[in-house]
Structure 1
C-alpha cells in the first residue's frame, strides 16, 4: 500500500503546480504546463496556461482558495473546519507538542483530542493550510503563512523518509 504522504511527495518531486491531499486520494495538478496532444488531443493541448510559465511567477488566482479554522468543543474535541476542497474531505494531520517542543504524537484523522500533556497542537489540512494553537487558549489559533506551510511540508517529508509514513486511521480498515 502507498500512503497519501508518499503520493504527495511523489507529485511534488515531479514538479506539480498544485497538490491537494484528500482523505481518500491526492490531487496532483500541472495546470501551468502545456498539455500533451498525444494524450489530450490537439484542441485541449493548445491551451498554454498563464504567461510567463515560470513556477514562481504563476497566477495564484487559478489555484483553489482554501479557508480553514479551528473549533474546540467542550469535551476537548478539536475540529479543523475547511472549505474549497472541492474533491472531498481534506486530509488532516494533527501534531501535538509538549512544553519543550517535543513531538508527542502525529495522527491522521478528521477530529482530534490531544494528549493531556500537550502544550501546542498543529493541524495540516489538505497539504495546503496549517493551523496552530496553544492548548491553554485554543480559541486563539493562528494560520501559518503559505511559505511556512511549504517549509513545514518539506520538514514533514524529510521526517517521513526517515521514520516512515503516518498512515490514515481508515487504512486499518482495509483488507
Structure 2
C-alpha cells in the first residue's frame, strides 16, 4: 500500500503516520551532509519561505548546433559541445568572491560552447567580420560568440562605415585567469564582450556608439574600448533561460572615492580605492578642477592623479574612470591652515 495515498480518520492517526513517513524519507537519504549528488542550484525565497528556482526548467529539444541569422554573409550553423571542467566555469551564487552588487543571472555558465573548427576560421559570419576574429586562444577548441554581439558589431560597422578591429573577444575562464589585470568574472568568458578600436574614431566616441547599439557596459582604456552586452537576453541552447520575474542589470562594482592631500603649496588629488577593470591595460582617467564662484575654466587632466597649486577658495574636483564611473568632491582650501 502506498502510505502517501492512504486516508486517515483522525488527527492523532495522521500525526503518527506523518512521523513514520518522514522517518522513512530521512532513512532513505544516504547522502553525506554538504555533499549533494547533483550540483547546487541557487534559489530565491518566495513569500512563504518556499524556494524558487530562478531557471526556467520547461523541457526543450536538445540541439547539437546553433544557427545564426543572416547578418550579411548568409545564415550558418556551428556545432555545440558542453564545456569541460578544465575551462573553469563557476556558479556565481556559491562563490564567495562574486560581487554582491551584480545580478547573478548573466554569470551562469553556458550550457554549451561552440566547436571552433566546425566553421572555417576565414569564413565571414557577417558582412564584415570573420569567425577567427573572435578567438585569441588558439589552443582552445571551444568558444562563444553570442548572436547579440555579432549583430550589434555589424550594425556598428555599417553605421560608422569604418573598419572595427577586435583586440580580444572570447576567453575561457582558465585562459582569462592567465591574463594579468583581467577581471575574474569578465564578460569575455560569456561571449558577449569585445575590446575594440576603429581607425579614425576616438575611443570615447566608439564607446558611445557601443551604447547606442545596446551595449550594457563600456569601459575606456588608453588603447581600446571594452563593450559588452551582459544584460541582453541569452538564447537556448547556449545559456539557461531565466524566469521573467528575475531582475536584470548590475549595480556599479566600483565607485571612485577621491582623496585630497596637501603637499607644501600644492594639492594632490588621487583615488582612495583601486579601480575595477574588465581587462588588462591602462584605464583612461579624466580629472576636472574648477574653482567655484570664479570665471576661470575648469582645468582637465588625463592622469591617474593630479597636482596643482590652488588659491584660497572652494574647489570642485571631479574624476571619471574608464569613461563610465565618476565622482566629485568639494574642498575648501585655506592657505593659512
Normalized against structure 2, the TM-score is what?
0.32
Task: Determine which of 122, 128, 131 is the counterpart of 2:327.
Answer: 131
Could you tell me which residue of structure 2 aligns to residue 72 of structure 1? 260
Could you tell me which residue of structure 1 aligns to residue 206 of structure 2? 7
Could you tell me which residue of structure 1 aligns to residue 304 of structure 2? 110
Could you tell me which residue of structure 2 aligns to residue 39 of structure 1? none
Say which is worse superposed, 82-91 or 119-128, in terms of deviation. 82-91
Structure 1's 105 and 50: CA in aligned 2 closer, same or farther, altered over 3 A?
A: farther
Aligned-partner SS, 1:60: coil
Give runs of aligned pairs for residues 136-147 of structure 1, distance below 5 A.
136=332
Structure 1's 10 and 119: CA in aligned 2 closer, same or farther, altered over 3 A?
A: same
Aligned-partner SS, 1:124: strand
Q: What is the CA distance between 1:73 and its match in structure 2?
A: 3.7
Could you tell me which residue of structure 1 aligns to residue 217 of structure 2? 18
* C-alpha distance in structure 1 between counterparts of 2:226 and 2:293, whole Å: 35
Structure 1's 123 and 47: CA in aligned 2 closer, same or farther, altered over 3 A?
A: same
Structure 1's 26 and 107: CA in aligned 2 closer, same or farther, altered over 3 A?
A: same
* C-alpha distance in structure 2 between counterparts of 1:4 and 1:24, whole Å: 8
Q: Are 2:120 and 1:120 equivalent residues in the alignment? A: no
* C-alpha distance in structure 1 between counterparts of 2:241 and 2:262, whole Å: 48
CA contact 1:50–1:58 (8 Å) conserved in 2 = no
Could you tell me which residue of structure 1 aligns to residue 125 of structure 2? none
Normalized against structure 1, the TM-score is what?
0.56
Could you tell me which residue of structure 1 aligns to residue 250 of structure 2? 60
- Runs of 4+ in structure 1 displaced over 4 angstroms? 48-53
Q: Which has the higher helix share?
A: 1
CA contact 2:221–2:284 (8 Å) conserved in 1 = yes
* C-alpha distance in structure 2 between counterparts of 1:119 and 1:109, whole Å: 19
Q: What is the CA distance between 1:32 and its match in structure 2?
A: 2.7
Q: What is the CA distance between 1:84 and its match in structure 2?
A: 2.4
| Root-mean-square deviation over aligned CA pairs | 3.3
* C-alpha distance in structure 1 between counterparts of 2:309 and 2:241, whole Å: 47
Give runs of aligned pairs for residues 29-108 of structure 1, distance below 5 A.
29-34=228-233, 46-47=238-239, 52=244, 58-60=248-250, 65-75=253-263, 76-80=267-271, 81-88=273-280, 89-100=282-293, 103-108=297-302
Pairs aligned (count): 126
CA contact 1:95–1:122 (8 Å) conserved in 2 = yes
Q: Which has the higher contact order (CA 8 A, sep 6+)?
A: 1
